[in-house]
Amino acid sequence: MAGHSVPIDFRVNPAKITNPVERKTLLQDLVPVVEPFTGSLTEISVSEVPGGNFVALYASDAMTFSVKLYANGIVSGTVEYYTDQVNEHKIVNDDGRQLERQLREKFGCSVAKVLPALKRAPVINPYFTSSDDRILEYDVDKIVFEKQSDFQKVQICHTLSFGNILVLDELQNLAESDLPYTHGLMNKENENFEGKEILILGGGDGALLWELLKEKPKFVTMIDIDEVVMDSCRKHMRSVCGDCLDNYDGPNYKIIVGDAIAYMKDYIEQNKSFDYVFGDLTDIPISSSPRGELWDFIRNIINLGTKLLKPGTGKYMTHAIGSGCENALKMFERQFSAVEVPVSINRTSNFVPSFMEDWCFYQATRKS
């Protein structure tokens, strides 16, 4: 069950809106274009609002059509209706394209766009965002797991296109389709993990651990604070994590439930070092400057993680954000220049199916 909103937008000469006669004619011409999809519309009101703009409201038996006319020539309309089925569309893609053609022909406008229906207050949320704040709609048909842990809201949603997706605090993290993400984080084909000692910070979905174990490492230590994430992925994301989350102690790996920062500080005091340290924790934030609690956390993780690398060969591997967020990536790169041990950095990227965008990864090598 959900409400649906179909945005209908086009541009006209501003005079068609600012001139009272032309404005009335525009609305009289617009309503018949929309009525084949809404049913017969009755005018409810037409009013002027601040800024020299106008709003109009129409209704049929099953739908409403609201229009805002901006003094700069933008006409922004919305058809709204309710259905018992979330994916029941009364105005489908072909209808939208037909409407666009009719609007261009009727009003001589170069810009006319009718978007697919946006779902309003659906029981299961299908909407997420790309890293640069574009709306992504997923074909979610059910929630297979949901629990509030001590640290975050943990969900696993099933989608028709990407399989199950791990969602943390309403942000998509990893889907069953997303092996390119894990391989991108590993910089697979360019790194040799055989016989290496590896530390994973985070990685509660088990995907990175599972893929690394296939590379015959000497030993992998994984530290994640949220056992609810591991429990849920063990049950519902087995195509991603295999059986590595079934036991926290394996022949060549150990999973620790705890605070990664505390353990890293202990390792530093013990003079322990690793061939690879993976930062599989939070994504870098989008902000105007690298300030705030999350940036402080990221800097702390990078500083401690690079200290644990073997000089000359050890690598700190981490994910970042989508390739479209160049300013955030540059800010992130600058954080490596502030670490206490010198490193050289390299950036790679992989297209991640469920993210629907190119995702960036970094490899920072500790200098001798």
Cite the active site residues.
Answer: 280
Distances (CA, A) of 263 to 120, 270, 309: 45, 11, 15
Q: Determine the distance from the C-alpha atom of residue 23 to the mean position of all C-alpha atoms in its chain, rounded to a whole number.
A: 41
Task: Name the helix (H) or strand (E) containing 140.
Answer: strand 140-148
Instruction: Report phi then psi at 295, rounded to 5.
Output: -65, -40
CA distance 175 to 159: 9
Residue 176, burial from CB neighbour count under 10 angstroms (0-12, 13-18, 19+): buried
- CA-nearest of 49, 54, 50, 44 to 19 is 54
Contact call for residues 171 and 325 (beta carbons, < 8 A)? no
Phi and psi at residue 276, in whole multiples of 5°?
-135, 135
